[in-house]
Amino acid sequence: MKKIIAIIGAMKEEITPILEYFKKYETISLGENTYYKLEYQNSIIIIAYSKIGKIHSALTCSTMILHFNANYVIFSGVAGGLREDLKVGDIILATSLCQYDVDITAFGHKLGFIPESKIYINTNESLNCIAKKVAKKQNINLKYGIIASGDSFVFDNAKKQWIIDNFNASAVEMEGASIAVVSSLCDIPFCIIRSISDSADNNANISFDEFLLESASRSAKFVISMVDEIVKE
C-alpha cells in the first residue's frame, strides 16, 4: 500500500518552502482550502496550509485523513518559545500537546480537560524517532517538550508565565493540539515540528515578523528530511 503523507502548516509562509522544494504538484480545492498533491518515491504527499487557529487546522487535518486518506500527519511551522534554552531558529519536537484555553473548571474539571478526552495528547513515537534520526544525521540540537495551543498569539510576559505554570509547556502556538485531537481520534500517527520565531514575551510580535520566514523554512527543511526517511522505510 502506498504511503500517504500529509504535511500541514498554518500559514502560507510555513508551506511555501516545501512546495518550492517539490516543485511539481497537482492543486485541489476543497472547503475553501487548497491541497497540493504529488507523487514522491512511490509515496503520495499532500501539502496544505490551514489558516491560523485550532478550528482551521482541525478542518484541514480531518480533510487530509478522511478525504485524502493520509496515514501520516506532520505539522511544520513556527512557535513561541517558553523556555530559556529555546532560542529563535531552534527546532522543537512536541512530546505532547494541550489546549491551554480550554476551561471548564466551573464544573470541577482540571484546566485544559474535556470529558472523554485528555489534557495532554502524546505524539507518535515512531515519527518522533524519525525526527531524532534526522536531527542526529544533520547535527541538529533537537529540543523536546510539551507544546500548548490556543487561539491567541501570546505576546505578554504574564500570560506566558501562566501557560508555563499551568501546563508545564515548552512552546506555544495555535494549531498543534487540534492536529493532535483529530489525528489521535482517527488513529493516525502524527508529529508536530516547530521552529522558534519568538519568545511569547512582550516583544513577540516584533520577533515573529522578523523571523517568521527564516524559522518557517528551517522547520520545512527538517520536515522534508523526515519525509525522505519515511518513504525509505
By CB under 6 A, tell whether 172 contacts ligand ADE.
yes
Q: 209 an active-site residue? A: no
For 9-59, the three-class secondary structure string (H helix, E strand, C coil) is ECCHHHHHHHHHHHCCCEEEEECCEEEEEEEECCEEEEEEECCCCHHHHHH
Residues 6+ apart with CB under 8 A from 29: 35
By CB under 6 A, tell whether 192 contacts ligand ADE.
no
Q: 14 an active-site residue? A: yes
How many positions of this chain bind ligand ADE (CB under 6 A)?
Answer: 14
Binding mask 70-109 for ligand ADE (x = CB under 6 A): --------xxx-----------------------------
d(CA 65, CA 93): 21
d(CA 151, CA 14): 18
Q: Are 143 and 85 in contact (CB under 8 A)?
A: yes
- In the DSSP assignment, the letter for residue 92 is E
Nearer to ligand ADE, 101 or 229 (CB): 101
Q: Which of 198, 219, 225, 230 binds ligand ADE (CB under 6 A)?
A: 198
Nearer to ligand ADE, 30 or 206 (CB): 206
Nearer to ligand ADE, 70 or 198 (CB): 198
Q: Supply the minimum distance, in Å, between the C-beta of residue 3 and ligand ADE.
A: 29
By CB under 6 A, tell whether 178 contacts ligand ADE.
no
Closest CA to 119 of 66, 70, 166: 166
Q: Which of 36, 49, 208, 222 binds ligand ADE (CB under 6 A)?
A: 208
By CB under 6 A, tell whether 180 contacts ligand ADE.
no
Q: List the Cα angle 48/77/178 in 5-degree steps.
A: 70
Q: Are 178 and 54 in contact (CB under 8 A)?
A: yes
Question: Which residues contact ligand ADE by CB under 6 A?
Answer: 78-80, 153-155, 172-174, 197-198, 200, 204, 208
Q: Name the residues annotated as catalytic.
A: 14, 198
